[in-house]
Structure 1
Amino acid sequence: MGLAQRKVASTAAKLAHVSSQHLKALPPKSALAPGRSANAAPAVFDANSWASSQPPPRSTLAAFAHRVGLANVVPSTDVIQQACTHPSFVQLFTRQHPDQPLPATNASLATLGNSLLGLFATEYVNSSYPHLPTRVMKAAVSAHVGPSTCANVARELGVIPLLRWQRTPTTAVTTAVLHADALASVPRALTALVYQYRSIRSARRFVEKLFFSREVDLRGMIKFRDPKQTLLETVAKYGRERPISRLLKETGRYSNSPVFVVGIFSGADQLGEGFGSSLKMAEYRAAEDALLRLYLTRQPPHLVQLPTSTFPDAPGNIYEAEGPEGSYSPVTMGDSEVLYGSAGRAGTRVPGARSLAASSAEDDLEDYTV
């Protein structure tokens, strides 16, 4: 083996897509063939493109299937290889192997898996947090099964050595394909495989272990422009007594760093509590705390029931599976969203939107008592 051949072999050996069994065929004949004319220079061999077009070793695919728990689910490793092949890989494969048939990609599997992930995440968030506002629920679903989360899950599963894709730029009709986009398609395709070869309940359990076992901080997704006014409208909506602010504790009132603790009460019930260096700040945080306690009221995990639990746990899709159906008791849907005095997305209030009762309630909310 000459110097050029050894250099090509050492370069390809460092790539994760190529196993040692391919080194005997390096460099390929296409790299050593001369050009069409006699004076043309030999074709330049691109080791990275050639290595990216090679299939992963069967042993690596089998190890990955066992690692994610799909060894007894899929019939062969060819299915795992299809799930790890992004549609952008077809162009690269055609350029490197024009005479071979096109490889199977995960285009249809990723589409089906994306729909299943959205279904499972929506029912999980909706059943766990029945009072969550609509926009926050959408953000929570994206945080659980969105593109960034799917890409991170793929990295943790060890998909990078198995992924076959090609970076493509943005065109007039298509968007750019980045590495994170190709990675995100693999967990979606794996979810579709579990649904295809087992059942929808098996696919949901697969998603629960990979995605829903992660804690997502929902407090940072809820922002209030005016929590005091929102709390007033919310309390009036539920027919409760008007909220009243009460000064619970204070220290250093006449110093440079005072601290006030304010609680908001509706009758004898304390709705929220907050602290601050001023009474206004403490009241603002107390109203925000009261709203967060309402919106983030979580159903106990052992009481959460999902609509997909009614489908039979038998092989086949939801139309063909036969077996006993599970019981389901729907949870009471919350109606806690309050829309008031808003002019679209501008965030400005409509003049005259507040009523006299709301003005009087806000005056009571600012009446501090000890």
Structure 2
Amino acid sequence: MKRIQLERWSGQLLSPRTRLCCLRQWNQSTPHIGSRRLQSGIGAEVSEVLEEEESIRPIRAGEFASPPPEAAARSAKLAALHARLALPKKLPLQTMARALVDLSADPDPQFNNTALSQVGGSLISAYVSEWLLCHYPRLPMTVLFAANYAYQGPSTLTKIGKEWGVETAAYPGSEVDPGLLQFNKLTPGSKVPSLGVSTRPDYAGFYRRGISSRVVYDDEFGDQIKFPEKDTVTEPVKQPTDMAYSNFVKAVVGSIYIHAGRSAARSFVHAHILSRHLAIGSLFQFKTPVRELARLCEREEFEFPVARILSETGRHSRSPVFVVGIFSGEDKLAEGAGPNLSEARVRAAVSALKAWYLYSPGSNTRVPSEMEEMGAKPWTPVHIDMGEIIH
């Protein structure tokens, strides 16, 4: 019986990346073998394999932290995701595989999705903000921040990523299927790491964090932007699930922008993010709606609003209903129903304020990014409101 050569047989079963790792460890463990000695016996085989692997893919520091780029072409999950999202053919599978590798899985910026997610996040923020401002030009800033978070916050992008059918890997590594989301997960019960230093110039002292300050110094959600403190020893980076999915969705948009252009990225954002229904009216919270309505009518030079009872039923029963209307001169602004006259008046004032702030020119309103397309029609200025009532 012919004897099997175990060294060559085991090497054929290993993947190219794993074979390279094993051969490097063998070569480092035998430093007494010089380059001349490698030309004979098994050393020649090792030298040939190393030259073959280095010709396929260059060596990098921290190798084997994520799947090699050449494994993307053999991933059925990755090809199915590419087809399911109807991504442009210009977008290669290798870039899609990189979009699935989080910073916590592979710290090498050439192989993770940090740069792609930064580009995609900026594009999503720009397209969502211009859509909200052009379709709802009278929204208060607090409601605009909340609407931005509802459309592109980490929770929303996590739901979108899961709806795409993307699954997470148990642990990142070179043997993981490139079609799985790879990140270093937080252990159950561990505290989410918080960032320490704020970017505000007056963070150390007393400051008033008002609406204007949030617009200037904070992010698109009105939250403080913080960075890790310097000269601090931190543990290996671990990522919450919602942030990993959020970075992946942003990286997909950034990949589309890089390979297919702005028009394809904008269409993708409108199809997957802005197409979702959001009840913006439920984001309002008024403290003194009657006073705010009076200030609004004064600013717009309307007649002072007056509440008038329109109808009632069961005044002396256990469940009466009163319908009150708010009038500015002869024009009825809104009406509201309640169990007493005071509640009905407040609800009518809230309805009048929502009718003012939720004004929209229509669904066919153009946005500035449409002018980037070839052959775009001349720009028509959109409605710009004076702003919210400050009291």
Q: Which amino acid aligns with 2:94?
A: D
Structure 2 CA distance for aligned equivalents of residues 230 and 80 of structure 1: 50
Structure 1 CA distance for aligned equivalents of residues 342 and 105 of structure 2: 59
**Equivalent runs, 1:40-59 vs 2, <5 Å:** 58-59=75-76
**Deviation for aligned residue 1:89:** 0.4
**Equivalent runs, 1:247-286 vs 2, <5 Å:** 247-286=309-348
Instruction: Tell me what 1:170 maps to.
Output: 193
Choose which of 290, 294, 298 in structure 2 pairs with 1:232: 294
**Equivalent runs, 1:26-175 vs 2, <5 Å:** 58-74=75-91, 76-90=92-106, 104-161=111-168, 162-167=180-185, 170=193, 173=228
Please, what is the CA RMSD of the aligned residues? 2.9
Q: Which amino acid aligns with 2:100?
A: C
Structure 2 CA distance for aligned equivalents of residues 336 and 87 of structure 1: 40
Structure 1 CA distance for aligned equivalents of residues 325 and 90 of structure 2: 56
Change (3 A) 1:142 1:326: farther
Choose which of 258, 263, 267 in structure 2 pairs with 1:196: 258
Question: For 1:214-263, what per-residue CA distance to the aligned partner results, in whole angstroms no more than 9, with x for missing partners?
Answer: 11111221110000000000011100111111100001112222111000
TM-score (norm 2): 0.66
SS of 2:106 mapped into structure 1: helix
Q: Which amino acid aligns with 2:366?
A: Q
Q: Does the CA contact (< 8 Å) of 1:84 and 1:159 recur in 2? A: no
Q: Which amino acid aligns with 2:106?
A: V
**Deviation for aligned residue 1:53:** 5.3
**Deviation for aligned residue 1:197:** 1.4
The size of the alignment, in residue pairs, is 279
Q: Does the CA contact (< 8 Å) of 1:259 and 1:275 recur in 2? A: yes
1:186 aligns with 2:248: yes
**Equivalent runs, 1:283-362 vs 2, <5 Å:** 283-302=345-364, 304-312=365-373, 323-340=374-391
**Deviation for aligned residue 1:328:** 2.1
Q: Which amino acid aligns with 1:88?
A: S
TM-score (norm 1): 0.69
Change (3 A) 1:189 1:53: closer
**Deviation for aligned residue 1:167:** 2.1
Change (3 A) 1:254 1:109: same
Q: Report the identity percentage.
A: 30
Structure 2 CA distance for aligned equivalents of residues 102 and 136 of structure 1: 36
Structure 2 CA distance for aligned equivalents of residues 85 and 336 of structure 1: 42
**Deviation for aligned residue 1:135:** 1.5
Structure 2 CA distance for aligned equivalents of residues 338 and 139 of structure 1: 18
Change (3 A) 1:206 1:283: same
Structure 1 CA distance for aligned equivalents of residues 271 and 376 of structure 2: 23
Structure 2 CA distance for aligned equivalents of residues 127 and 250 of structure 1: 40
Structure 2 CA distance for aligned equivalents of residues 198 and 158 of structure 1: 23
Change (3 A) 1:250 1:336: farther
Q: Does the CA contact (< 8 Å) of 2:183 and 2:238 recur in 1? A: no
Q: Does the CA contact (< 8 Å) of 1:62 and 1:71 recur in 2? A: no
**Deviation for aligned residue 1:152:** 0.8
Structure 2 CA distance for aligned equivalents of residues 255 and 324 of structure 1: 67
Q: Indicate the larger mover: 323-332 or 279-288.
A: 323-332
Larger relative contact order (Cα-Cα within 8 Å, sequence gap ≥ 6): 2
**Deviation for aligned residue 1:118:** 0.5
Gaps of 5+ in 2: 1-13, 30-63, 169-179, 187-191, 197-227, 229-233
Q: Does the CA contact (< 8 Å) of 1:295 and 1:336 recur in 2? A: no
Q: Does the CA contact (< 8 Å) of 2:183 and 2:244 recur in 1? A: yes
